[in-house]
Amino acid sequence: MARAAGASVYSPDMLATKYGSRPIKVTLRSLEVLTALGSFAAKLALDRWRGQLDQRMRSRAAELREIFTKLGPTFVKIGQGLSTRPDICPPEYLEELAQLQDALPTFPNVQAFSCIEEELGLPLESIYSSISPAPIAAASLGQVYKAQLKYSEQVVAVKVQRPGIEEAIGLDFYLLRGLGVLINKYVDVISTNVVALIDEFARRVYQELNYVQEGLNARRFKKLYADKEDVLVPDIFWDYTSAKVLTMEWVDGVKLNQQEAIEKQGLKLLDLVNTGIQCSLRQLLEYGYFHADPHPGNLLATPEGKLAFLDFGMMSETPEQARFAIIGHVVHLVNRDYEAMAQDYYALDFLPPDVDVSPIVPVLKGFFDDVLNSTVSELNFKTIVDGLGNVLYQFPFNVPAYYALILRSLTVLEGLALYADPNFKVLAASYPYFAKRLLTDPNPYLRDALIELLFKDGRFRWNRLENLLVQGSKDRDFTAKDALQPVLKLLLDPDGEQLRVLVVKEAIYVTEAVVLGTAIDTYNSIPDLFKTLVFNGNASQPFKFSLEEQQKMLELRDRIFRIWGLLTASRNFDPSILQPVLQTLQEPAARNLGGRVVGGVTQRLAARLLQQVLLS
């Protein structure tokens, strides 16, 4: 940890002091950047004047990607950042900039090895018994070697920071911040604090320069997510790690975009992608700490079939309120409740509370009514992202960094899966997780979302519960016990009277359906000869309610039986899990609820009996 004491930290004042006295260097870099970006802006202006802006958007987006690559590490990072901002860039630019790779020329071994010796305070030959003669991979901020530690013979990956990287990005951020000050002062059209955005982005990039921090990120990530047997996070070797050198366990594996090589190992790409999706959902919505750069180079398929995560320089966190709001947003999408979806943008921190969301509602409706012709699980995630991107681009949204990175994360995973199966849908793979969380999480926000999903116009939607159980049971962590307890606690809550009224009414319907449905089935199983003898020569239906009503009762009863079957078929089901339920039912509030149900059922069946007598 002491080796990280000298790690660079972003400080606008320090940059101003450093480069304010170096006008020639600043001028030369300014000219280089302005020439590249100015010529690009001129071409855009010409396209607009000729009316070819939309027609040439794709080619211009590719040109911008090349410009950012040539301008170096800072602009590569800027391009990658813009690729996650649908509120700033049109879809064509998002797709092109997403292709930006951290691929820059390697720097000489002499410089790299000298950096290792200087940072670790030891000669190279006393640290490693062997080290690769050339870098295994090169990125914008550093390059990686494969080596073997001398003391343990452990094979490791050694990441060495690019020489002069601090100087390069420091100068660029000094220039960009100066531009931001001018924009804030003179450009009234842009209401966002541009300087604040640049400062936040610069802090993130500088954090990536501190390899000790990256090691701490990896350790935290491993603690949270490597409990699953199909996820691998490499160990960090702290004795050989500093601010500019990171040593971690070597992972043998194949990049996730190399399908043929993966299948040669007897593995299935879709299984690995599904593991990535489930792990990503836990990252984004359970603990909120997530890998913010999951491109194919950072995801490996190991020979054992595990999914290995690499490169923990860029991490992000989802605020707790936003985690629950995202799940609620999916519920509102399922219900096609576009007004509630628009309101979600407050909780997601897309909009300040004083912004009117009513104009957004018809746009959401126009887009989702079209794409929701398919079921939610059949939707292509990229279609939704592109559609939402168009919505966000039309309105004054401020998409938080965490949300943009979430979209990028899931889009990358779906893109990888589409190589193997053009019909793969990331939402279909994600829905079991959402269903499990809705059924088992005691958080009040999610409990309200569950009620909203299951109840409509005073009636319980049993088909929705059945579907949630079907989907939730596909999640390996789902159990019936987890689903039953929170529901009962919610039902018996002192503030749950409105829900209890709905549940009592529904319990009456269900009991009637089970009792009368069983009577109908029993009658139908009697041979016609006996029906004639028992019912005075009349073998027709003796029940004095319509065949349509009888059919509805049978359908409801059968659905209830299927739901019970789903609960009992869940993993590790044991009748003893009902003991806490029975204990809860002994509470006074529960006994009162049971009494109301029994009274309602008695009245309902008595009314049916009276109907039979009067109409016979």
Label the pairing between strands 142-149 and 459-460: unpaired
Write the CA distances from 139 to 245, 416, 526, integer angstroms: 14, 21, 78
Instruction: State the catalytic residue, choosing from 87, 293, 344, 475.
Output: 293
Q: Taken in order 85, 91, 93, 97, is the CA torsion positive or negative?
A: positive
| Those residues with Cβ within 8 angstroms of residue 542's Cβ, 6 or more apart along the chain or in another chain | 523, 535
**CA angle centred on 249, ends 243 and 250, rounded to 5°:** 115
Widest CA span in the chain: 111
3-class DSSP state for residue 431? helix
CB 411 within 8 A of CB 94: no
CB 111 within 8 A of CB 163: yes
Helices (H), 305-350: 320-335, 338-347
Q: Rounded to 5, what percent of the chain is helix, strand, coil?
A: 65, 10, 30
| Those residues with Cβ within 8 angstroms of residue 98's Cβ, 6 or more apart along the chain or in another chain | 80, 83, 408
Write the CA distances from 298 to 137, 177, 396, 412, integer angstroms: 11, 31, 33, 11
What tokens appear for 480 in the block?
Answer: 């019936």
Write the CA distances from 214 to 55, 221, 245, 267, integer angstroms: 42, 10, 10, 30
**CA angle centred on 326, ends 324 and 330, rounded to 5°:** 115
| Those residues with Cβ within 8 angstroms of residue 486's Cβ, 6 or more apart along the chain or in another chain | 440, 441, 442, 447
CB 279 within 8 A of CB 313: no
Alpha-carbon torsion angle 285, 291, 296, 301, nearest 10 = -80
Q: Is 293 a catalytic residue?
A: yes
Q: Please list the residues that pair with 138 across neighbouring strands.
A: 143
What tokens appear for 314 in the block?
Answer: 């860029």
The set of catalytic residues is: 293
